[in-house]
């Protein structure tokens, strides 16, 4: 068996590998996209003040091995994900999309699943619809209703008085304040 057939067979059997070949309009070269889950558990074997750096290097090594290209570039999102909890605590696993580009390098980007992205789009779309529905709904114009002049408008009964004014204090505090004012202030002897 040739080496190419062996590689192809292992790629088919490997459940982590998902290939997508897309052709850009106007280009003769096909881009290859693959989605991988990279296990970064061995990062914990390195000293704790170098783990995030080691995780970056492990992702690059993984990409070189699987994509067969030496030049690897990480997107900013991947870097932020690795460094999000600091240099000492990178994630144990990371899901990435690796894309071979026409320029001759592999771009490693954060993978957002198709199902997840569809759900996010639906959630974003629903609040927008509700807001637009509220805006679109016809607002009743404040038009005074015409009443016959013969009938006088009924006058409201006595208006209820508010229970307490904001400045009013309860009786207990009024008495206490009065007692404090009555006491003479003692002069201290220096």
What domains are defined for the chain?
29-133 (3.10.440.10)
* 23 pLDDT above the threshold of 50: no
Q: What percent of the chain shows pLDDT beyond 90? A: 42
pTM, to two decimals: 0.48
Instruction: Say how many Å lie between the first and final Cα of the chain, rounded.
Output: 107
Least confident segment among 53-57, 88-92, 127-131: 127-131
Q: What DSSP designation does 50 have? A: G
Please state the rounded mean pLDDT for residues 155-176: 63
Task: Kindly state the DSSP code that residue 80 receives in the 8-state scheme.
Answer: H
pLDDT of residue 29: 47
Q: What pLDDT does 26 receive?
A: 45
Among 6-20, 85-99, 166-180, which range has the highest average pLDDT? 85-99
Q: Look over the chain and give the mean of its residue pLDDT values, rounded to a whole number.
A: 75
pLDDT at 113: 82
Mean pLDDT along residues 11-27:
52
**pLDDT tier at 114, thresholds 50, 70, 90:** confident
- According to DSSP, residue 41 is labeled G
- Residues 58 and 93 sit within 8 Å (Cβ to Cβ): no
């Amino acid at each position: 068996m040739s080496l190419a057939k062996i590689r192809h067979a292992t790629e088919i059997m490997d459940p982590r590998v998902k290939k997508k070949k897309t052709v850009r309009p106007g280009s003769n070269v096909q881009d290859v996209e693959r989605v991988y889950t990279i296990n970064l558990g061995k990062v914990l074997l390195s000293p704790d003040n170098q783990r995030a750096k080691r995780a970056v290097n492990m992702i690059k090594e993984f990409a070189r091995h699987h994509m067969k290209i030496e030049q690897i570039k990480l997107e900013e999102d991947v870097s932020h994900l690795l460094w999000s909890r600091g240099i000492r605590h990178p994630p144990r696993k990371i899901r990435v999309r690796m894309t071979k580009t026409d320029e001759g390098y592999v771009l490693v980007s954060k993978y957002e699943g198709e199902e997840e992205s569809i759900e996010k789009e639906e959630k974003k779309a629903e609040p927008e619809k509700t807001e637009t529905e509220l805006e679109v709904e016809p607002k009743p114009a404040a038009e005074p209703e015409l009443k016959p002049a013969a009938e006088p408008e009924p006058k409201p009964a006595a208006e209820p008085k508010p229970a307490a004014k904001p400045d009013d204090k309860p009786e207990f505090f009024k008495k206490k304040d009065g007692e404090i004012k009555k006491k003479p202030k003692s002069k201290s002897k220096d």
